[in-house]
Amino acid sequence: MIISIASGKGGTGKTTIATNLAFSLARKGHNLQLLDCDVEEPNAHIFIKPEVEIREPVFFNVPQIDEEKCTYCGECAKICAYNALFVTKGKVMLFPQLCHSCGGCSYFCPQNAISEIGHEIGEIQAGSAYGIEFAYGKLNIGEIVAPPLIKKLKKRIDENKVVIIDAPPGTSCPVIEAVKGSDFCLLVTEPTPFGLNDLKLAVEMLKVLKVPFAILINRWNEEYFEIDSYCKKENIPIIMRIPLERKIAEIYSEGNLFSKELPEWQDKFCKLFNSIEGLRK
């Protein structure tokens, strides 16, 4: 089963939930895989502290122009929807960061002057800890296109395991790439107007993706009930609440798992998993 952990907004505690859920389930003997798909700012490894066994650079095909054959006709730049190519008299300029690797330029070049060459966009690191099979992607600084790296990371999914995906924030390309194909998505939110606003966006996104979902309220403070009203109105189950506690924030600040230091939480996370399994049926 693939469970993704998402939220419209960053900083709601996605990584905290993903890592503590993975840890608690692994402790109870589940066969577990955790993939950190927030390749722009991966953080799960800080908490899981895996022994990195594999480092794999990820390449992305970009055009390579054979200047001997090129006539500078400009056809490639004309068809490129992403403005990754620019042709002037006697020169073809390529902006590899803008390329989506659609292959159009090489396919349509009238002179057959374009081939493709790998451009490194980041790397995948994989290893294990606490019996969790763990992998994450790290986008190189200055690269803008995260989805190909996420796609490559998701190739590691082992459907025979419980797979937990820590998704990036937002509602556009990277998070869609991460959540696509999940059996269930847990949306993490916090009880503030920001939390509610971004939760609504994330709910819309999941409806488009047709992935079943439920809500977890993090930093619950018993002061702001708008999220409860919204969920009730929309018929969305709230399946867990984690209180706003300085102790939890302090454990987090040290880069540690709170379910490890406060073991009573392990049962709560296992219950969360049971609720997810129940809702999936």
Partner 1 sequence: MIQEVTVLSGKGGTGKTSLVASFAALAENKVMVDCDVDAADLHLILKPEVKETNDFYGLNEYLINKDICIECGKCEELCRFDAIDNFQIDGLYCEGCGICFLACPVSAIETKERVCGQWFISKTEYGPLVHAKLGIAQENSGKLVAEVRKAAKKMAQKKGIPLVITDGSPGIGCPVIASLSGTNLVLIVTEPTVSGAHDLERILDLCAHFKIKSLVCINKFDLNLKKTREIKELCKERSVEVVGKINYDSIFTEALIKGVPVVEFSDGETSRRIKSLWGNLYNKLSS
d(CA 197, CA 262): 31
Candidates 53, 120, 204, 267: give the one binding partner 1 (CB under 8 A). 204
Considering the rule CB under 8 A, would residue 8 count as an interface residue with partner 1?
Answer: yes
Q: What x-and-dash track marks residues 109-138 binding partner 1 by CB under 8 A?
A: ------------------------------
Considering the rule CB under 8 A, would residue 170 count as an interface residue with partner 1?
Answer: yes
Number of residues counted as binding partner 1 (CB under 8 A): 57
b or e along 100-135 (b: 16 or more beta carbons within 10 Å of the residue's beta carbon)?
A: ebeebbbeebeeebbeeeebebbbbbbbbbbebbbb
Candidates 88, 197, 229, 274: give the one binding partner 1 (CB under 8 A). 197
Asked if residues 243 and 221 have their Cβ atoms less than 8 Å apart, the reply is yes
Listed in sequence order, the residues at least 6 apart from 278 whose beta carbon sits closer than 8 Å to its beta carbon are none
Q: Which two tokens stand for residue 79?
A: 């068809």
The alpha-carbon radius of gyration of the chain (Å, integer) is: 22
b or e along 207-239 (b: 16 or more beta carbons within 10 Å of the residue's beta carbon)?
A: eebebebbbbbbbbeeeeeebeebbeeeebebb
Considering the rule CB under 8 A, would residue 225 count as an interface residue with partner 1?
Answer: no
Provide the minimum distance between the beta carbon of 206 and partner 1 in the complex, in angstroms, as a whole number. 9
Q: Which range of residues in 88-96, 125-133, 195-203, 259-267 is near partner 1 by CB under 8 A? A: 195-203
Complex with partner 1: residue 180 or 268, whichever CB lies closer: 180
Amino acid code (one letter) for 27: R
Which residues bind to partner 1, rule: CB under 8 A? 8-12, 15, 40-41, 43, 46, 79, 81-82, 100-104, 107-108, 139, 141-146, 168-174, 176, 180, 190, 192-194, 197-198, 201, 204-205, 208-209, 221, 223-224, 246, 249-250, 252-255
